[in-house]
Amino acid sequence: METLSRFLVFMFLFSRFVSGFTLQNLPVTSFEESYTQLFGDKNFFVHKDGKSVRLTLDERTGSGFVSNDLYLHGLFSASIKLPSDYSAGVVVAFYMSNGDMYEKNHDEIDFEFLGNIRGKEWRIQTNIYGNGSTHLGREERSNLWFDPTEDYHQYSILWSDSHIIFFVDNIPIREVKRTASMGGHFPSKPMSLYTTIWDGSKWATNGGKYGVNYKYAPYVAKLTDLVLHGCAVDPIEQFPKCDEGADEDIRAAQEISPSQRVKMGAFRRKHMTYSYCYDRNRYKVALPECVVNPAEAQRLRVHDPVTFGGIPRRHRNGKHRSRRSRVVGAESI
C-alpha cells in the first residue's frame, strides 16, 4: 500500500511537471468582496451573480474597476470577451499598477487589447515598468489564434519576486525573468489590479491612423471568473499576507513545464509581431534582460525590415525622422 501511495504521488508530481500548473483551478472571487468601481457611472454593470462584469465605452465615457487590496506578487486572472465589429482605437486593459501611490517611480504590468478596423483582428500587447522606467518601453505585441470577440478567454498574469509570465488560456505567451542588470526596472512594489475600457484613438490602431468611431458604440467588454490569488499588503504596515496556498501556487506557476514551453515557442513563432528586444530603431543594443533568439530575430526582420533590421525610417521627402517619431512608429505596428 505504501509503495502504491508513493507511486501515485510520483505520478501526480510528474504530471504537473510535464503539463504545468493549471490556472483554470484558481479560486474565483466575487466583485463586491474584492473590487470597487473606478469610473464610468452607468457604463459599469455587475451581474446578479456578483462574479461577472460589463464595461462599456461610448461617447460619454469609458469605465473600469480596481481591486480593493494592494498585492505584492500573485496570480491574477480574468476571462474576457472583447467588443465585436469595428473597434479601432478601443483599448481594453487588464493590468497592475501603483501609479496612484508612486507618481514618479511607479511599477506596472500590462495586458492591453488593441481594437482594429472591420475585418482586422484585435491585437494583444504586454508591457512592464519598474520604478518609473516609462522611458524604456518593454512592449511585445501579438495576434491571437482565435477570435476574442466570439467567446470568453482566460488572460492571466503571474508575478513573483523573480518572474513575470503572461498567459492566454493557460498558455504562456511571454516570460520576463528578473536579472541583476535590470536593477529597479523589475516591478517590485505593491500594486492594485485594474480593468478598464477607454478611448485610445491617438495611438492604439496604426499609431492613431484609425480612431474610435462612436457610430458603432456602445463598445462592450464582458468579464467573468475574476481571480486575485496572491499576497495582499496592508497599506499602512506594508506587510504582505498571502492567501491560503498562494505561495505554493506562485512557485508552481512560475516553473514553465516542457509542454508549456513548446506551446509558448509555437505561439511566438506564429503570432508575435513586435518585441522591443529586436527593435533596432529604438535600441541599438538590446536591453540587458533580453534573451535574443536568432530565429525569432530573423522572422521579425522579414516581417518588418525597417523596425527589426535597423534601417532608418524616412519621411516622404527623404529626411530622417526624429527619435520620438521612430518610437511612435514602432508603437504603430
User: Is 103 part of any domain?
Assistant: yes
Q: Are 20 and 260 in contact (CB under 8 A)?
A: yes
% of the chain beyond a pLDDT of 70? 87
Q: Read off the pLDDT of residues 303-317 as tens digits, 9 standing for 90 and up.
A: 899 899 877 655 444
Query: Residue 316: its pLDDT value, please?
Result: 46
Give CA–CA dist 70/159, Å, rounded. 13
- Exactly one of 2, 32, 103, 112 is catalytic; which is it? 112
CA nearest to 174, candidates 138, 126, 132:
126
Q: Are 39 and 62 in contact (CB under 8 A)?
A: yes
User: Is 301 part of any domain?
Assistant: no
Q: Read off the pLDDT of residues 89-123 as tens digits, 9 standing for 90 and up.
A: 999 999 999 999 998 899 999 999 999 999 999 99
Is 237 among the residues known to form the active site? no
pLDDT band at residue 183 under the 50/70/90 scheme: confident
Give CA–CA dist 97/269, Å, rounded. 30
Q: Read off the pLDDT of residues 38-63 as tens digits, 9 standing for 90 and up.
A: 999 999 999 999 999 999 999 999 99
Q: Read off the pLDDT of residues 198-240 as tens digits, 9 standing for 90 and up.
A: 999 999 999 999 999 999 999 999 999 999 999 999 877 778 9
Give CA–CA dist 116/189, Å, rounded. 34
Query: Residue 236: its pLDDT value, please?
Result: 78
Query: Residue 288: its pLDDT value, please?
Result: 86
User: Is 6 part of any domain?
Assistant: no
Q: How many domains does the chain have?
A: 1
Higher pLDDT, 19 or 31: 31
Query: Residue 1: its pLDDT value, please?
Result: 55
Q: List the domain range (segments joined by +) for residue 61.
A: 31-254
Give CA–CA dist 221/83, Å, rounded. 6
User: Is 107 part of any domain?
Assistant: yes
Query: Residue 314: its pLDDT value, please?
Result: 59
Task: Say if residue 2's pLDDT is above 80.
Answer: no
Is 108 among the residues known to form the active site? yes
Query: Residue 312: its pLDDT value, please?
Result: 65
User: Is 333 part of any domain?
Assistant: no
Single-letter amino acid code for the residue at 221: A
User: Is 23 part of any domain?
Assistant: no
Q: pTM (2 decimals)?
A: 0.88
User: Is 305 part of any domain?
Assistant: no
Higher pLDDT, 78 or 20: 78
Give CA–CA dist 71/114, Å, rounded. 26
- Exactly one of 33, 108, 121, 139 is catalytic; which is it? 108
Q: Tell me the CATH number at 157.
A: 2.60.120.200
User: Is 317 part of any domain?
Assistant: no
